């Protein structure tokens, strides 16, 4: 493969960058998996979150929409929070529960989740290129026996690359609209969206949406 040839020639910069990217991807995975996604832990925290969120959208969201008490956690949910049955917690700005990381994606870890997906996509694209560069095709049984592992690895990388790319693109689109996966999928069931005069009362324009999300 290309990386192997560069290593044999003593050109170690690209192999080293590739290894560092893989390591960074693994560390980001554990960070996003293990960190608090934004659990609502106390009623007074929920009130603080409510006042901050409402101050941004007070003109768009009807004033009669009140915080409701979660029937599972027994805490008052701030706006855009949702109870996760798998985590057994209410999560601020709940996006979805990701089986990939075995954790919720919410207010605190959503930006880092996007960074993780981006790094993972770079690693997969580079890994796919490395696997492809190591393949040479011959129509023989011996060739298939010697290259079956590399061929299967390449096909798996292609599948994972498509999945990660689609996931990253969908999340970037939702961020540009300042909405979440849960709000997008369940718009008709969420009171503060169903009774709002605007289709999305949180949308403040693409640039400001990205700025507020990442900064």
Q: What are the residue numbers of the active site? A: 98
Residue 146 CA to residue 137 CA, distance in Å, equals 11
């Amino acid at each position: 493969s290309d990386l192997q040839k560069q290593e044999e020639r003593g050109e170690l910069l690209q192999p080293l960058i590739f290894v560092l990217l893989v390591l960074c991807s693994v560390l980001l995975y554990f960070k996003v998996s293990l960190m608090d996604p934004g659990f609502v832990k106390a009623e007074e925290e929920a009130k603080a979150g409510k006042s901050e969120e409402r101050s941004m959208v007070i003109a768009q969201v009807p004033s009669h929409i009140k915080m409701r008490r979660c029937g599972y956690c027994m805490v008052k949910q701030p706006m855009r929070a949702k109870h996760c049955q798998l985590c057994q917690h209410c999560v601020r700005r709940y996006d979805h529960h990701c089986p990939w990381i075995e954790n919720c994606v919410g207010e605190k870890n959503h930006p880092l989740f996007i960074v993780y997906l981006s790094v993972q996509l770079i690693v997969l694209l580079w890994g796919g290129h490395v696997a492809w560069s190591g393949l040479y095709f011959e129509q023989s049984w011996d060739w298939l026996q010697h290259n079956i592992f590399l061929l299967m690895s390449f096909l798996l990388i292609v599948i994972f690359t498509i999945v990660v790319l689609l996931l990253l693109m969908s999340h970037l689109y939702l961020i540009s609209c300042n909405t979440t996966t849960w709000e997008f999928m369940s718009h008709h069931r969420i009171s503060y969206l169903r009774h709002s005069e605007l289709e999305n009362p949180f949308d403040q324009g693409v640039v400001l949406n990205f700025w507020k999300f990442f900064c």
